[in-house]
């Protein structure tokens, strides 16, 4: 839904929207449901399931069958809370473990069937951005720069931001679950294994430490369950009040070593659910405090899922950050926007006439096709030779703010496949369960490009397109076809190029 420019206009009524954000983290699954009403957010429900998905990864980075079943059962419970909320108002994101797992596509297929909504695996950079959005949405940007550190189950995100904008974002492969599994597998804490864990985490931080310290910040803020659990334990011990101090963290670390293990019975203020991964989180935060020279840290109650809610509010409106990412790329690579817009309009007309029969999503796939039309010539800024491959590579390897890894792969594939032979290699990065829809979007983009190959401003005549399986019939006025004899030849050539995927286009003239 597009929001009006002026939310203060009392004559405009905007129906409230129930929005849901589900974070499939490496330690726990977090669900947040809110009601968004004229700029105001009211929390309706929250649910946490401590799955510890990262603990199910074996040495080959495969999620075990037992952990998969545990996760699916948790999602079945969560799905009950999502009933009645439309898919366009639900966003489910997967983080480090699902980025890392080699069998994540198999897991995701079952997970999507269970919750009844698509799941997006997001990059580390996108996770960092959403964490920043979540923290700032509640705390406010304030004055000066701030450092936000979020220690998750499988990764740690560090963001420096100012005036509501992230200036630097990093996602590191260390988290409370992964560090606990590696250094504290039996729950025993010693001086040796704690030192080794801190040293390992410090080595992960080392490549970014100098640039972060040089950029600087006024306030350090911690988010995530790990940081909140540490705050509670140091508060319970009387070492800190509303902040985590360097001295308080050192006292906690020493107490863990003295007690020799990490349980709710030995560490006052620590929950039974958090205990198995607590030592790894303490090691990670120690490394951050030490190498970044942090003396004190505020703690935020919000993080990724609140950022996802903010992103949902912006989607479908002028605030959709994905559209901003596309336009920024178009400007950076000097795209001919007049030609791009002609192809976008035609591609969307083709889409409108085929999406129902081809089982394409009216909103999601339409957006992807529109953005691909804008960016299809992005590779020309490098070289005309094989420019579709250059464009596909750029989109596959750029940090596209707001995009999931799957949507970025689809966008890259559309640009890569918009010309030349449509071989299996074009679709190598596309999961099997969305392959057919991606193929169909590629065919629509190719046809739009073909119809505007002359690059002239002359508009196309009214046309009709129908699809039956992989057979496409394009109806054009006979008078127009008589003045464009090259079109038939181009269609014949196109049919040879798309034949490897089983598609065929037939032109039919109309009076």
Question: Using H for helix, E for strand and C for coil, what is the string for 416-472?
Answer: HCCCCCCCHHHHCCCCHHHHHHHHHHHHHHHHHHHHCCCCCCCCCCCCEEEEECCEE
Quick one: 150 and 259 in the same domain? yes
The answer to whether residue 486 sits within a structural domain is no
Two tokens at 402?
Answer: 């707001």
List pLDDT tens digits, range 415-443.
999 999 999 999 999 999 899 999 999 99
Quick one: 261 and 192 in the same domain? yes
Quick one: 163 and 288 in the same domain? yes
Quick one: 110 and 232 in the same domain? no
Residue 85 phi, psi dihedral angles, 5° rounding:
-100, 125
List pLDDT tens digits, range 475-511.
999 999 999 889 889 999 999 999 999 999 999 999 8
Note whether 343 and 371 are within 8 A (CB).
no
Quick one: 113 and 32 in the same domain? yes
Choosing from 445, 460, 475, the residue where a domain stops is 460
- CATH number of the domain residue 335 falls in: 1.10.3210.10
Residues of the domain holding 375: 320-460
The answer to whether residue 427 sits within a structural domain is yes
Q: What pLDDT is stored for residue 13 in this prediction? A: 53
Note whether 452 and 346 are within 8 A (CB).
yes
- CATH number of the domain residue 87 falls in: 3.30.420.40
Quick one: 148 and 184 in the same domain? yes
The answer to whether residue 506 sits within a structural domain is no
The answer to whether residue 442 sits within a structural domain is yes
Quick one: 270 and 398 in the same domain? no
The answer to whether residue 505 sits within a structural domain is no
Quick one: 29 and 55 in the same domain? yes
Note whether 109 and 101 are within 8 A (CB).
no
The answer to whether residue 471 sits within a structural domain is no
List pLDDT tens digits, range 85-103.
999 999 999 999 999 999 9
Choosing from 278, 312, 346, the residue where a domain stops is 312
Mean pLDDT of 220-230: 96
Number of H helices, E strands in the chain: 18, 14
Quick one: 100 and 245 in the same domain? no
Q: Decide if pLDDT at 11 tops 90.
A: no
> Can you tell me which residue has the tokens 């960016």?
375
Rounded Cα distance between 199 and 182, Å, is: 13
Cβ count near 325 (within 10 Å): 18
Question: 317: pLDDT confidence band, cut at 50, 70 and 90?
Answer: confident
Cβ count near 268 (within 10 Å): 11
Quick one: 202 and 281 in the same domain? yes
The answer to whether residue 469 sits within a structural domain is no
Note whether 271 and 289 are within 8 A (CB).
no
Quick one: 149 and 270 in the same domain? yes
Q: Decide if pLDDT at 324 tops 50.
A: yes
Question: 318: pLDDT confidence band, cut at 50, 70 and 90?
Answer: confident
- CATH number of the domain residue 252 falls in: 3.30.420.150
Q: What pLDDT is stored for residue 1 in this prediction? A: 31
List pLDDT tens digits, range 254-278.
999 999 998 888 999 999 999 999 9
Quick one: 177 and 109 in the same domain? no
State the pTM of this model: 0.89
Q: What pLDDT is stored for residue 4 in this prediction? A: 36
How many domains does the chain contain in total?
3
Choosing from 444, 460, 476, the residue where a domain stops is 460
For all residues of the chain together, what is the average pLDDT? 94
The answer to whether residue 153 sits within a structural domain is yes
Mean pLDDT of 118-138: 95
Note whether 397 and 384 are within 8 A (CB).
no
Q: Decide if pLDDT at 8 tops 60.
A: no
Two tokens at 136?
Answer: 């700032």
């Amino acid at each position: 839904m597009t929001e009006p420019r002026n939310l203060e206009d009392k004559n405009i009524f905007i129906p409230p929207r129930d929005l849901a954000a589900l974070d499939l983290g490496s330690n726990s699954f977090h669900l947040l449901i809110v009601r968004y009403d004229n700029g105001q957010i009211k929390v309706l429900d929250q649910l946490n399931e401590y799955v510890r998905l990262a603990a199910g990864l074996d040495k080959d980075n495969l999620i075990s069958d037992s952990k998969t079943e545990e996760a699916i059962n948790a999602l079945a419970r969560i799905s009950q809370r999502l009933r009645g909320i439309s898919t366009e108002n639900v966003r489910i994101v997967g983080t480090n473990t699902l980025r890392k797992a080699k069998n994540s596509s198999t897991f995701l297929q079952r997970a999507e069937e269970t919750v009844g909504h698509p799941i997006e695996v997001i990059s580390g950079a996108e996770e960092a951005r959403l964490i920043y959005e979540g923290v700032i949405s509640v705390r406010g940007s304030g004055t000066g720069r701030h450092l936000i550190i979020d220690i998750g189950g499988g990764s740690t995100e560090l963001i420096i931001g100012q005036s509501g904008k992230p200036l630097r974002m990093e996602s590191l492969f260390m988290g409370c679950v992964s560090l606990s599994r590696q250094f504290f597998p039996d729950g025993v804490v010693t001086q040796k294994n704690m030192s080794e864990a801190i040293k390992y985490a410090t080595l992960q931080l080392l490549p970014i430490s100098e640039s972060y310290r040089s950029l600087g910040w006024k306030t350090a803020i911690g988010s995530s369950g790990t940081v909140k659990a540490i705050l509670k334990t140091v508060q319970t011990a009387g070492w800190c009040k509303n902040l985590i101090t360097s001295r308080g963290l050192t006292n906690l670390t020493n107490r863990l070593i003295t007690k020799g293990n990490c349980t709710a019975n030995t560490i006052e203020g620590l929950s039974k659910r958090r205990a198995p991964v607590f030592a790894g989180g303490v090691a990670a935060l120690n490394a951050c405090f030490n190498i970044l020279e942090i003396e004190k840290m505020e703690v935020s109650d919000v993080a990724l899922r609140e950022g996802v809610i903010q992103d949902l509010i912006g989607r479908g409106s002028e605030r959709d950050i994905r559209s901003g990412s596309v336009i920024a790329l178009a400007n950076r690579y000097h795209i001919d926007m007049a030609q791009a817009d002609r192809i976008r309009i035609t591609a969307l007309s083709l889409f409108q006439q085929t999406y129902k029969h081809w089982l394409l999503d009216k909103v999601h796939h339409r957006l992807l096709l529109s953005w691909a039309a804008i960016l299809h010539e992005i590779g020309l800024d490098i070289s005309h030779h094989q420019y579709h491959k250059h464009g596909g590579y750029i989109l596959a390897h750029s940090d596209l703010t707001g995009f999931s890894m799957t949507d970025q792969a689809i966008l890259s594939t559309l640009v890569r496949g918009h010309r030349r032979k449509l071989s299996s290699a074009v679709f190598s990065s596309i999961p099997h369960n969305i392959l057919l829809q991606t193929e169909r979007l590629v065919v629509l983009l190719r046809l739009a490009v073909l119809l505007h190959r002359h690059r002239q401003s002359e508009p196309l005549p009214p046309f009709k397109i129908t699809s039956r399986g992989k057979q496409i019939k394009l109806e054009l006025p006979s008078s127009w076809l008589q003045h464009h004899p090259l079109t038939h030849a181009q269609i014949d050539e196109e049919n040879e190029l798309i034949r490897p995927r089983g598609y065929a286009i037939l032109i039919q003239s109309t009076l």
